[in-house]
Structure 1
Amino acid sequence: MSKYRFLLINAFSLAPGNDFAMRSYTGPKETQVYNYEDLKPFLADIDWDLNPGARATHGNFPVTTKEAFMSVGNNRLPLVREACASGKYNAVVLLGGGDPGYMESREIARQYRIPVTSSAHAQMHIAGLLGNKFSIIDISESHNMQMYHLVVQYRMTDRCASIRNVNFPLPTPNHPNDRPINVERDRALQSGTSDMLDAAVVESVAAIEEDGADTIILGCSAAFWMQPLLQKRLQEIGWDVPVLEGARAAIQVAKMLVDLGVDASALAFPGERPAKWRRRKVF
């Protein structure tokens, strides 16, 4: 038995018959994970289960707004509590960009001494180990602002050089055919290039040359497929900078926390009636 017993939780699942599916929401666990072949080596030594994510209540389409992020984050919390209470897992990995429900999930899991990790948080902290400034390559204006919120919340404003927008939004009923990302992914995987990948290269170079970034982060899980392709394209033109992807980062940070035997601080995430409390909190 592996020392790593992880539950991976997708951000949400959509009802059958929707027109905006970007991955499978049923079937073998491997088919429900974005870019499984890229993740496979990182999961090889883990006993892992996958929760497909709670059924979306914001609508039958991907998350695009802060309202939707709050909705799917709230829907995740019972899944985290159930996983922690089951005794089956020693870490929970929240898949998906934008980290919906992450801080609240840590509060829940702290009661069970189980670490929880998520994509953006893990990437930002790994980027801090690799260089001085990172830039986030992200998909759309509304998603950019969720990432902006996370940069501030995670106290990364001094480390984040910029958020760069490639403007390939997720599909919604109001814009059903707005340059679909899955088509861009398929084109890039087949031919090595696509308009979305080309835009990511342009914005990554601008982040390096104009903003001072020395590490690149991908913001949305729907764009995580670009990591090996973007890394290769940047190296080909002479920019030897790390390109990070959220799912792998979150998995590896979860392993590290298990190895260290630590989870969230009880001072950062106190229980309802902590044994010790502080008279003052300072900034």
Structure 2
Amino acid sequence: MATPRLMLINAFSLAPGAYALRPHSGTREDLVMDYANVAPLLAGVEWDVHAGAPATHGQWPVETKEEFMMVGVNRLPLVREACESGRFDAVVLLGGGDPGYPEAREIGRRYGIPVTSCAHAQMHIAVTQGHRFSIIDISETHNAQMANLVVGYRFTEHCASIRNVNFPLPRPAHQGEQSIAREKALALSGQPSAMLEAAVAAAEAAIEEDGAESIILGCSASYWMQPFLQQRLKEMGWSIPVLEGYRSAVALAKLLVSLGLDASGIAFPSDQPRRWRARKPV
């Protein structure tokens, strides 16, 4: 089998000095947040990454529906460019809220190229692990986006809950003391992290109270917690998988390439399909 060629596309790029949680320039490894966690899945793969289209919603990370819509529209030309280039077998959209994903799949279908994204991939992998999953997410506003995705992807039967640890993204509207960057740095240095402790408590409540059989992390800014949360739950006696979006989306892209699949032409019809249905079930 030929080596798969993947294009990873970030949701957006910010100007220098903005409210940033990852570099927006540098090497390709720099542009993949928490690259060390994703690196094993990219080994033996030809891959490139785009920093993302310049942000037009403001110089801060995305949380509101308006912002998700704007960055989704902005990165569709990047998806089309990657598909038209002939250099890639699949496109992976980075970012926990999946901005522009259905539309990107429609573009990919025209070229026979699969497109994957973080929340969508996590949910599908989660239901191979058990019937019900819970999402551990960062803020009330971001929870609303994740809830929309659960409904849109038709996973309401499988989603046990969305639990909020209340560590919002760095943005003008958030001037609280909770800092995702600081909590991540504390955990990586072996010190106690309030965000991680909140995630552990939320995950255990999801297991005991909501019936979760696997755990999903909502925002990509929280994906750094995956190995820590997985280990902590194991130490507490819980045998439950904890997923994060980057690895899930990359793994699913590789699987689709190996199977020779992109997306159903019924779900994403061409402009003038050879056959059409007189009735579409909902």
Q: TM-score, normalised by structure 2?
A: 0.98
State the one-letter code of the partner of 2:275: K
Asked if 2 retains the 8 angstrom alpha-carbon contact of 1:140 and 1:169, the reply is: yes
What residue in structure 1 maps to residue 14 of structure 2?
14
What residue in structure 2 maps to residue 159 of structure 1?
158
**Cα deviation per residue 1:122-181 (whole Å; 9 max; x = unaligned)?**
000000100010000000000001000000000000000000000000011132454110
Q: Which moves more between the two structures, 187-196 or 56-65?
A: 187-196
State the one-letter code of the partner of 1:184: E
The separation in 2 between residues aligned to 1:175 and 1:210, in whole angstroms, is 30
What residue in structure 1 maps to residue 168 of structure 2?
169
Displacement of 1:34 in angstroms is 0.8
Displacement of 1:97 in angstroms is 0.4
The separation in 2 between residues aligned to 1:175 and 1:212, in whole angstroms, is 32
Describe how 1:107-122 pairs up with structure 2 within 5 A. Answer: 107-122=106-121
**Cα deviation per residue 1:95-117 (whole Å; 9 max; x = unaligned)?**
11000000000000100000000
What residue in structure 2 maps to residue 190 of structure 1?
189
The separation in 2 between residues aligned to 1:247 and 1:275, in whole angstroms, is 36
The separation in 2 between residues aligned to 1:175 and 1:122, in whole angstroms, is 29
The separation in 2 between residues aligned to 1:174 and 1:152, in whole angstroms, is 27
Asked if 2 retains the 8 angstrom alpha-carbon contact of 1:192 and 1:229, the reply is: no
Is the partner of 2:127 in helix, strand or coil? helix
Describe how 1:1-283 pairs up with structure 2 within 5 A. Answer: 3-18=3-18, 20-191=19-190, 193-283=192-282
Asked if 2 retains the 8 angstrom alpha-carbon contact of 1:169 and 1:178, the reply is: no
Asked if 2 retains the 8 angstrom alpha-carbon contact of 1:171 and 1:178, the reply is: no
The separation in 1 between residues aligned to 2:176 and 2:8, in whole angstroms, is 30
Is the partner of 2:111 in helix, strand or coil? coil
Q: Which runs of 4+ in 1 moved over 4 A?
A: none
**Cα deviation per residue 1:38-60 (whole Å; 9 max; x = unaligned)?**
11111011100000000010000
Unaligned runs of 5+ in 1: none
Asked if 1 retains the 8 angstrom alpha-carbon contact of 2:20 and 2:170, the reply is: no
Percent identity for Structure 1 against Structure 2:
62
Displacement of 1:16 in angstroms is 1.8
Change (3 A) 1:276 1:178: farther
Asked if 1 retains the 8 angstrom alpha-carbon contact of 2:55 and 2:71, the reply is: yes
The separation in 2 between residues aligned to 1:178 and 1:192, in whole angstroms, is 18
State the one-letter code of the partner of 2:117: S
Asked if 1 retains the 8 angstrom alpha-carbon contact of 2:63 and 2:141, the reply is: yes
**Cα deviation per residue 1:237-262 (whole Å; 9 max; x = unaligned)?**
11110000100000000010001001
Number of aligned residue pairs: give it.
282
The separation in 1 between residues aligned to 2:246 and 2:2, in whole angstroms, is 20
Is the partner of 1:273 in helix, strand or coil? coil
Asked if 2 retains the 8 angstrom alpha-carbon contact of 1:135 and 1:215, the reply is: yes
Is the partner of 2:157 in helix, strand or coil? coil
The separation in 1 between residues aligned to 2:39 and 2:200, in whole angstroms, is 25
The separation in 1 between residues aligned to 2:177 and 2:62, in whole angstroms, is 15
Asked if 2 retains the 8 angstrom alpha-carbon contact of 1:133 and 1:215, the reply is: yes
Is the partner of 1:60 in helix, strand or coil? coil
Change (3 A) 1:158 1:192: farther
Change (3 A) 1:212 1:145: same
Displacement of 1:3 in angstroms is 1.8
The separation in 2 between residues aligned to 1:174 and 1:101, in whole angstroms, is 24
Asked if 2 retains the 8 angstrom alpha-carbon contact of 1:227 and 1:243, the reply is: yes
Asked if 1 retains the 8 angstrom alpha-carbon contact of 2:132 and 2:212, the reply is: yes
Q: Which moves more between the two structures, 267-276 or 187-196?
A: 187-196
